Structure 1
């Protein structure tokens, strides 16, 4: 284990050097990296929205409006086809997804069905799907009645097509804002994720994305009075009642027939009217559109011509003369900004369907800079604490561990840079947690080396055996945490996935550095120094040899643990968790006073005056910051949540800066709740299967029982302290699952080893021995992790404080359960079946050997 060939040495240090080359741009000034040769890496880790500011918006295709529009289109086709065949009908109506046609002459039913047969022709669903879809099904439920029903496959096809087309339109609109590196991706079957870093005006982005921008030119019907129709009159056939954008809005009767559509536009630019100097939008049509526009204006001189955008009449000017040049002008009480935005929308093209904003998260650039500062401070302090602790605990071996830790962080940042990962605030938490957990592998190795040395091996033999025997334990322990991270990645979203990625990469780099770099450094030290004894540290949390009778108190500990679990479950129902908007839906706004301290009472008053019912306002972070929560009470739609943000922001804009907004509609919150539950259960099942395969079924059940104990107690802690339960809390719980199992598997690995070594030792005594042998490693690892998390809790900022507090409690309780719950559970499951006679003989033998072997631990028999 301590021999390294030359090519292995070269590969190890080449990996570290390549990692250093890719990680360096993250800390070097930009001016330096720009001056480097082109063949050197110059990319750095992309900062998430919570670190550099920006907007995250989740859009969903409005399926209902898409179906309604498709039904109208099919209904028009039905009318046209029946008229072409001269088939009369007395009524045509729509209900749900079905159009019903009642024929005047039932004898024409067969002819009518044949005429409508072309509606059922399948359409290609694309090369990738390799098939076709029938959008309409015809039926004849009764004599003289024919129904045309939209199929589920047809609707799904239309939704999928709308998403594909909308992505391109959204991308063009976002690009018009001049932002850098926006991320626009499809999510699921009917959603689009838009992430725009560094955006200074998120409200403008929402306005651009929330409009379909369907532009039409339609004639105005002057035969009826629009005011009379709006007050309850009958809309004439072939007309539609629309309203203007004016305040107050005016009704206008518009012919339903579209004379010219926005599909024929080739350009749209903001400008000013030469006569009135008001902002306008100048548009230009293609050749087909120019011909249509010319014919319509030539035939309707003296009549008003409505310019309609998303069923709102922008203006209805009277056609003074024929417009034959293919150019026109749109006016309508525009400001310079609104004229520019309309031009952007028209140039980008209309969306094929309405997109609803169902989730929004916006972070101001000021809060992003503060988050970076807080993360850097927490990382530096956590790293220094861990480095000092390792030096104090292991002396020169601690120096080697710290070198490996530095290489670990370099490789971690290098991998994040190469894969193009986005670093978020929870991602920084993952790095800080990696600082604490990365030393676990070295602690395992060093403690194992000390064990081998105490058993009489030479220094070289002890070091070689320590690395060799620690390998399986380290792999088992880290794979369980990796499973939790993988489940978290696939079931999480946004920052939670960033945390999972960072944690997973940290685990892989930790295993690599522990078994290559650390081993090479130790081997080099042994070759050059040829030590006669292992370096001693200056600090030990527990003595080298302990004889604590853990099994004697197992029933009392079980009683206490069971009582705490029951109390935690009761608190979940009696008090209830403080669910954040991720699970309840609602709006969260973080504000900062422009001058002086934030007045929560004044904020509450201003919001109430603005018409926002029951806002919850609390102090947050410093005295000049406050957090506003507006719950989603009753039947609240996704769109109304967006209006709440705009109302609140407008009410507070004079005295407060909006630092962060989060809007989670009821659609998303229900999905997130289920995803959280499934995520925890899936990780438990995956880890149960792994432990079962690696050990025996008793170990798997024992590990799950100990882990469930930790999860329940952590939930009780979160409930009693009323910490905010968000997606980050779920990430914390899943990490606690991985960490607790890490500890448990390490102890189980020693139990399995001792079962092979001491075949006749009573189980209770063997478990005591295993717990005592691993006590030093368990406490050392927990101490380093707690040091790193404590730095994050104190200096990491208010945004992730609930997340870190949950982690801190979980780490402490996980250490407790791995010793006092996981190992004793094996007794209840009768891991080693030994009858009373064999146990008695083994006990007698131990008593006889006690004087001759004083080093033997004589803990109480289970």
Structure 2
């Protein structure tokens, strides 16, 4: 008869009991998950009565680790998203306008007056000059703005194609730049989706590219595809615009190249802004919740080198003038530029709560 030493029996029983203790939280999966999420939020954002109540759902002296359940065991949402790359082309053309305008203004003696054609085809920048004889000089000046395509497949190509017709310069993205832009947009979308899904504490999501412009998203634990759409489809569009005028007239008519935008906090206040943004959220590389000098919730952001350079030059040339920070077509703040902002970073303040500043930072990334 097999004889097992008493110490070995004790060790076997101890290992079994330890395994049962560690597995025990999985029998109360939802409760423990709510506890874990609340504890993480308290550590990151501070305590609230709701978070304390959720944290109390599971005793702190018991293990709280959970097995990550996949989509087949836990349920969740499955979504195939299409990335609208054509919208990026339009934004890129808007971004080129200031550079093209400055290049043509520098040779005004040859080209005369310069204006943007507002009804140009989507994804194209049309600029009209008053002196047709100056078209060759204008084309040379605008072509000098072209930059090499930043991709391995576009070696030797430039980012824009420039042509002329009559007294109009036509600027479009080159085929190589469109391909590189498509790839960057998909990669950026993948990263944005991954960050937003990770922010809500979802475990083991599957996020991968499918085809030229689609992304497959599988997230265990989310109730429905609609909930997933709400999470990844809410895009915070941040832009920085020069302020032309402040008004309380909701029927004010902006001039050519201008837009009328409502204030986020004061529905009776409006701003007339230049349509073309100085910099956009595409130039952001990071956004984090924080607190301003008064201890109030805020969002700190940081530009990439290109955005930092453009923003620094603009604030240097426009010290003393107001500029508007626009979020989703509403002005969240319109401060006056007290001094050049050349460090590549800034802070958004407003009537934020800790939760809303955190949410905004997530959406801006």
TM-score by length of 1: 0.29
Given that 1:282 and 1:330 are in contact with CA atoms closer than 8 Å, whether structure 2 keeps it comes out as yes
Matches within 5 A, 1:681-696: none
**Offset of 1:181 from its aligned partner?**
1.2
Q: Distance in 2 between matches of 1:105 and 1:328?
A: 44
1:110 aligns with 2:132: no
1:281 aligns with 2:284: no
Gaps of 5+ in 2: 1-16, 24-66
1:186 aligns with 2:209: yes
Q: Distance in 2 between matches of 1:247 and 1:91?
A: 34
Q: Distance in 2 between matches of 1:105 and 1:234?
A: 30
Deviates more, 1:171-180 or 1:46-55: 46-55
Given that 1:137 and 1:150 are in contact with CA atoms closer than 8 Å, whether structure 2 keeps it comes out as yes
Q: Distance in 1 between matches of 2:95 and 2:337?
A: 33
Q: Distance in 1 between matches of 2:302 and 2:73?
A: 44
Judging changes above 3 Å, is the alpha-carbon distance between structure 1 residues 280 and 72 closer, same or farther for their aligned structure 2 residues?
same
Q: Distance in 1 between matches of 2:337 and 2:164?
A: 52
Match of 1:209 among 211, 232, 241: 232
Match of 1:137 among 158, 161, 175: 161
Q: Distance in 2 between matches of 1:72 and 1:304?
A: 21
Deviations 1:276-296 (A, max 9, x none): xxx732426589969959x67
- Residue in structure 1 matched with residue 349 of structure 2 by the alignment: 330
Matches within 5 A, 1:491-502: none
1:175 aligns with 2:216: no
Given that 1:219 and 1:254 are in contact with CA atoms closer than 8 Å, whether structure 2 keeps it comes out as yes
Judging changes above 3 Å, is the alpha-carbon distance between structure 1 residues 221 and 287 closer, same or farther for their aligned structure 2 residues?
same
Judging changes above 3 Å, is the alpha-carbon distance between structure 1 residues 90 and 124 closer, same or farther for their aligned structure 2 residues?
closer
Judging changes above 3 Å, is the alpha-carbon distance between structure 1 residues 113 and 192 closer, same or farther for their aligned structure 2 residues?
same
1:53 aligns with 2:53: no
- Residue in structure 2 matched with residue 163 of structure 1 by the alignment: 186
Match of 1:198 among 174, 198, 221: 221
Q: Distance in 1 between matches of 2:280 and 2:115?
A: 30
Judging changes above 3 Å, is the alpha-carbon distance between structure 1 residues 284 and 189 closer, same or farther for their aligned structure 2 residues?
closer
Q: Distance in 2 between matches of 1:284 and 1:149?
A: 30
Deviations 1:450-489 (A, max 9, x none): xxxxxxxxxxxxxxxxxxxxxxxxxxxxxxxxxxxxxxxx
Q: Distance in 2 between matches of 1:30 and 1:205?
A: 37
Given that 2:79 and 2:225 are in contact with CA atoms closer than 8 Å, whether structure 1 keeps it comes out as no
Report which of the two structures shows the higher radius of gyration computed on alpha carbons.
Answer: 1
Q: Distance in 2 between matches of 1:90 and 1:226?
A: 32
Deviations 1:23-67 (A, max 9, x none): xxxxxx9947x89xxxxxxxxx98653641323333322234212
**Offset of 1:202 from its aligned partner?**
7.2
The structure whose residues are more often helix, as a share, is 1
Judging changes above 3 Å, is the alpha-carbon distance between structure 1 residues 145 and 54 closer, same or farther for their aligned structure 2 residues?
same
**Offset of 1:242 from its aligned partner?**
1.9
Q: Distance in 1 between matches of 2:193 and 2:172?
A: 31
Deviations 1:367-394 (A, max 9, x none): xxxxxxxxxxxxxxxxxxxxxxxxxxxx
**Offset of 1:109 from its aligned partner?**
2.5
Q: Secondary structure at the match of 2:254?
A: coil
Given that 1:215 and 1:308 are in contact with CA atoms closer than 8 Å, whether structure 2 keeps it comes out as yes
Given that 1:125 and 1:133 are in contact with CA atoms closer than 8 Å, whether structure 2 keeps it comes out as no
Q: Distance in 2 between matches of 1:183 and 1:170?
A: 11
Q: Distance in 2 between matches of 1:131 and 1:162?
A: 19
1:252 aligns with 2:271: yes
Q: Secondary structure at the match of 2:253?
A: coil
Q: Distance in 2 between matches of 1:287 and 1:82?
A: 27
Given that 1:219 and 1:259 are in contact with CA atoms closer than 8 Å, whether structure 2 keeps it comes out as yes
**Offset of 1:162 from its aligned partner?**
0.8
Judging changes above 3 Å, is the alpha-carbon distance between structure 1 residues 264 and 47 closer, same or farther for their aligned structure 2 residues?
closer
Judging changes above 3 Å, is the alpha-carbon distance between structure 1 residues 159 and 250 closer, same or farther for their aligned structure 2 residues?
farther
Matches within 5 A, 1:305-316: 306-316=324-334
Given that 1:208 and 1:341 are in contact with CA atoms closer than 8 Å, whether structure 2 keeps it comes out as no
**Offset of 1:163 from its aligned partner?**
0.8
What is the root-mean-square deviation of aligned Cα atoms in Å? Answer: 4.7
Q: Distance in 2 between matches of 1:321 and 1:80?
A: 25
**Offset of 1:185 from its aligned partner?**
0.8
**Offset of 1:171 from its aligned partner?**
1.8
Q: Secondary structure at the match of 1:180?
A: coil
**Offset of 1:102 from its aligned partner?**
4.0
Judging changes above 3 Å, is the alpha-carbon distance between structure 1 residues 251 and 205 closer, same or farther for their aligned structure 2 residues?
farther
- Residue in structure 1 matched with residue 107 of structure 2 by the alignment: 85
Q: Distance in 1 between matches of 2:99 and 2:158?
A: 16
**Offset of 1:336 from its aligned partner?**
4.7
Gaps of 5+ in 1: 1-28, 36-44, 350-862
Given that 2:86 and 2:123 are in contact with CA atoms closer than 8 Å, whether structure 1 keeps it comes out as no
**Offset of 1:90 from its aligned partner?**
5.7
Q: Secondary structure at the match of 2:202?
A: coil
- Residue in structure 1 matched with residue 62 of structure 2 by the alignment: none
Q: Distance in 2 between matches of 1:30 and 1:195?
A: 33
Judging changes above 3 Å, is the alpha-carbon distance between structure 1 residues 284 and 69 closer, same or farther for their aligned structure 2 residues?
closer
Q: Distance in 2 between matches of 1:125 and 1:320?
A: 36
1:225 aligns with 2:242: no
Judging changes above 3 Å, is the alpha-carbon distance between structure 1 residues 225 and 138 closer, same or farther for their aligned structure 2 residues?
same
- Residue in structure 1 matched with residue 260 of structure 2 by the alignment: 241
Q: Secondary structure at the match of 1:123?
A: coil
Matches within 5 A, 1:333-482: 334-346=352-364, 349=365
